[in-house]
Structure 1
Amino acid sequence: MEIRQISEDYSVTGQIVPADVAQIRAAGFRSVICNRPDGEQVDQPAQDEVRAAVEAAGMTYRYIPVVSGQMTADNVADQARALEELPTPVLAYCRSGGRCTNLFLAIQQSRG
């Protein structure tokens, strides 16, 4: 798992699995956002499995699925709201971390 810090309170990574959660918690993250829709690939864990592991570790979880290449204004607004509400620091994941990064950049652009 390669975690890339985007801002002081926001980092991104590719797909995580429940076994990664202890390492995420140990790294100091307090919240996890899943930006990957279930079923993109047959071998990816269901987001409910990841949610259960995240919450069992005492962190907060949010599911904001974004279809690859089809980010919407609603996705950006939902991510912005999550970043305002969730305990920080936040780790967001998708297949590669790209959608999570693009959402963050879109939020920054919308704020001028």
Structure 2
Amino acid sequence: MMYPGFNTTKLAESKAFYTKHFGFEVIFEDDWFVLLKRGEYELGFMLPEMPQQNSLFQPAFGGGSWLAFETDDAHQEYDRLQQAGVPIVAEIKDEVWGDRHFVIKDPSGIGVDVYQRLQTE
């Protein structure tokens, strides 16, 4: 098992975002860390500058990371998230490599690519 983890001061906001919009459930929560799970996938968020952590794991998230969620219907997800008030960073579009997708940003600034694999012939 492997899961990505992100340092953020927005633990509560991140937990709410992923549980509300993507169906994650909380499997561990403390005042400095939250671990979420959806099916076989886990996602962790930790406060930055925690002295009990190795210095490599202490800096706050600084960008350059993203998460991707596959869906059977990108238009439906786009409408659902837009109606929920989630800001859309990149509008839905079809790509030449066979994906239909759009991009949102979570409360910590992590890019979230919601995509649908289109059938190609």
- Higher relative contact order by CA 8 Å / sep ≥ 6: 1 or 2? 1
Rg larger for? 2
TM-score by length of 1: 0.31
TM-score by length of 2: 0.29
